[in-house]
A = this chain, B = another copy of it.
Amino acid sequence: MEIQKIEQQFLELNKKMMNYNEAISVMYWDLRTGAPKNGAEQRSNVISQLSAEVFAMSTSSEMNDYLTKLENVIGTGVLSDVTEKSVKECRKDYNLNVKIPPEEYREFVKLTALSESAWEEAKAEANFEKFQPFIEKIVEAKKKFIEYWGYNDKKYDTLLDLYEPGMTTKKLDEVFKKVREELVPLVAAIAKTGKSLQGDFLFKPLEIQRQKRICEDILTQLGYNFDSGRLDESVHPFQITLNPGDVRVTTKYIEDNFMSALFGTIHECGHALYEQNISTKLIGTPLCGGSSMGIHESQSLFFENIVGRSKEFWTNQFAVLKDNAGDYLENVTFEEFYESVNHSEPSLIRIEADELTYPLHIMVRYEIEKELFDGSLEVKDLPRVWNQKMEEYLGITPSNDAEGVLQDVHWSGGDFGYFPSYALGAMYSAQFKNTLVKEMPSYEELLEQGQIEPIVNWLTKNIHQHGRLKTPSEILVDVTGEELNVTHFINYLTDKYTSLYKL
């Protein structure tokens, strides 16, 4: 058969897989945004059924056949760039998946669906024991998967590589050490001032209906397209892409913590802008997504922190917010607001942590995951070790597991190796900003005028549109001219917090 015919069939198979994945994503979104509990178990049957079908397609002899034939002509100019890179993605998936027996994979997917419901209940009751049997099974399954996949130095590296290609425990240990060496003295210096920038208004109640409207407005202001998405409520905020014309975000509203919903929304908006701006030529291919979890997170953190907590952004937006928030910001000055949303202090909940202490939350999880997978830590000891590490890194101890080890959804989905991406994202985002400001000298002025569009366009041109056509490292080098350089991150934080706390 001629190669163009094979290319076409390969792309058709990919489209079919993407269609199944979209159905699965709709069901996940539904389960997390208010599906009734009595239907959840049967729903997990449906998800596991369809996931098994996708799994079967990705590991089919048909797929292997296409890949083998297309691999023969890679680099000869016969195939488009999109096809060549799709082939590489599919081969990676094929190799990962073909080693896992289908029935085991199917069971695993079902387990994670049930596990998420269990986690929701366990968290609501602050009862780790309810979650423990699920997480034990998930860790066991993941270990078995790693055995199937193979590993070099450390089992955990295989998981890291899934989310951030090329990342290893060795590299992360180094990077985290360097960041820790700089951040710990900075955090200490702030503590020494005895200053709190936290305004009383932060925990003033603001009715949910108003919070909702403001979050919708801010999404629009940042360039989120509501004709290609919607905003809902869930236990843990998330962004999910059903297709490029349907990129959804959720947030969580707490009456007396509006900033949590607001910055949660801005964070997910960053993810969503990435997904809404991926080139339409990638639709239906495995390249229609973020380059890596770290690069994805760089976009959410860029909007949450670098834009969303900047003086410049609020120069324009503060008056609007004040108008829309009833008496919530009564008697609050611009300066108080800016300082309050940048207040830094060790806290218990990662997603509510400030950008300075945030990396320390990641390190707690990173150390725990490393130890779970090298066998030096058992699941039953998670709550104890979590609390220990929190004390060690942040100097505080959760009073219960809901605000401790049960706070994140990730482990219930089997997403180990994912957390480091959050810290990498923060580092990438500072590096991108450093280049953006050089290339767009009017950056601060634009923000002050509420003109976000040129900034989103820059990100789209340099990052978003490419989807998975480029690796994280290619993006970094193409955009900033260098590989990951944590100096930018450290400088950004040092400048910002030195000025804020007048150190």
Chain A residues at the B interface, C-beta cutoff of 8 Å: 16, 19-20, 22-24, 26-27, 30, 34-43, 45-46, 49-50, 209, 225-230, 242-246, 248, 283
Q: Cβ of A243 and Cβ of B19 under 8 Å apart?
A: no
Determine which of B24, B50, B209, B228 lies in contact with A38 in the assembled complex, contact meaning CB atoms within 8 Å: B228
Q: Cβ of B43 and Cβ of A230 under 8 Å apart?
A: no
A283 proximity list for chain B (CB < 8 A): 42
Q: Cβ of B243 and Cβ of A42 under 8 Å apart?
A: yes
Q: Cβ of A23 and Cβ of B16 under 8 Å apart?
A: no
Asked if A246 meets B43 with Cβ closer than 8 Å, knowing A30-B30, A37-B227, A230-B35, the reply is: yes
The residue of chain B having its C-beta at the shortest distance from the C-beta of A226 within the complex is B36
Determine which of B24, B37, B39, B242 lies in contact with A39 in the assembled complex, contact meaning CB atoms within 8 Å: B242
- For the complex, what is the distance from the CA of A38 to the CA of B230, rounded to whole Å? 11
A228 proximity list for chain B (CB < 8 A): 36, 38-39
Q: Cβ of A22 and Cβ of B43 under 8 Å apart?
A: yes
Could you jot down 15 A-B contacts, CB within 8 Å? A16-B49, A19-B49, A19-B50, A26-B27, A26-B30, A36-B245, A36-B246, A36-B248, A37-B227, A39-B228, A39-B242, A39-B246, A42-B245, A43-B243, A43-B246
A50 proximity list for chain B (CB < 8 A): 19-20, 23
- For the complex, what is the distance from the CA of A36 to the CA of B247, rounded to whole Å? 9
- For the complex, what is the distance from the CA of A253 to the CA of B30, rounded to whole Å? 22
> How many Å from the CB of A211 to the closest CB on chain B?
15
Determine which of B16, B23, B39 lies in contact with A27 in the assembled complex, contact meaning CB atoms within 8 Å: B23
Q: Cβ of A42 and Cβ of B22 under 8 Å apart?
A: yes
8 tightest CB-CB pairs across the interface, nearest first? A39-B246, A38-B245, A39-B245, A42-B243, A38-B228, A19-B49, A19-B46, A23-B23
Asked if A230 meets B26 with Cβ closer than 8 Å, knowing A46-B19, A49-B19, the reply is: no
> How many Å from the CB of A223 to the closest CB on chain B?
15
- For the complex, what is the distance from the CA of A38 to the CA of B229, rounded to whole Å? 8
A27 proximity list for chain B (CB < 8 A): 23, 26
Q: Cβ of A230 and Cβ of B41 under 8 Å apart?
A: no
- For the complex, what is the distance from the CA of A209 to the CA of B210, rounded to whole Å? 14
A209 proximity list for chain B (CB < 8 A): 209
> How many Å from the CB of A117 to the closest CB on chain B?
12
- 6 additional contacts, CB 8 Å, given A19-B50, A23-B26, A35-B246? A16-B49, A19-B46, A36-B245, A39-B228, A39-B246, A42-B246
> How many Å from the CB of A92 to the closest CB on chain B?
24
A20 proximity list for chain B (CB < 8 A): 46, 49-50
> How many Å from the CB of A424 to the closest CB on chain B?
30
A43 proximity list for chain B (CB < 8 A): 22, 242-243, 246
The residue of chain B having its C-beta at the shortest distance from the C-beta of A35 within the complex is B246
Q: Cβ of A19 and Cβ of B38 under 8 Å apart?
A: no
A22 proximity list for chain B (CB < 8 A): 42-43, 46
- For the complex, what is the distance from the CA of A23 to the CA of B29, rounded to whole Å? 12
> How many Å from the CB of A271 to the closest CB on chain B?
16
- For the complex, what is the distance from the CA of A27 to the CA of B136, rounded to whole Å? 33
A39 proximity list for chain B (CB < 8 A): 228, 242-246
A45 proximity list for chain B (CB < 8 A): 19
A40 proximity list for chain B (CB < 8 A): 245
> How many Å from the CB of A38 to the closest CB on chain B?
3
Q: Cβ of A230 and Cβ of B42 under 8 Å apart?
A: no
The residue of chain B having its C-beta at the shortest distance from the C-beta of A243 within the complex is B42
> How many Å from the CB of A251 to the closest CB on chain B?
16
A24 proximity list for chain B (CB < 8 A): 23
The residue of chain B having its C-beta at the shortest distance from the C-beta of A248 within the complex is B36
Asked if A246 meets B38 with Cβ closer than 8 Å, knowing A26-B27, A30-B26, the reply is: yes
- For the complex, what is the distance from the CA of A42 to the CA of B245, rounded to whole Å? 8
A244 proximity list for chain B (CB < 8 A): 39, 42
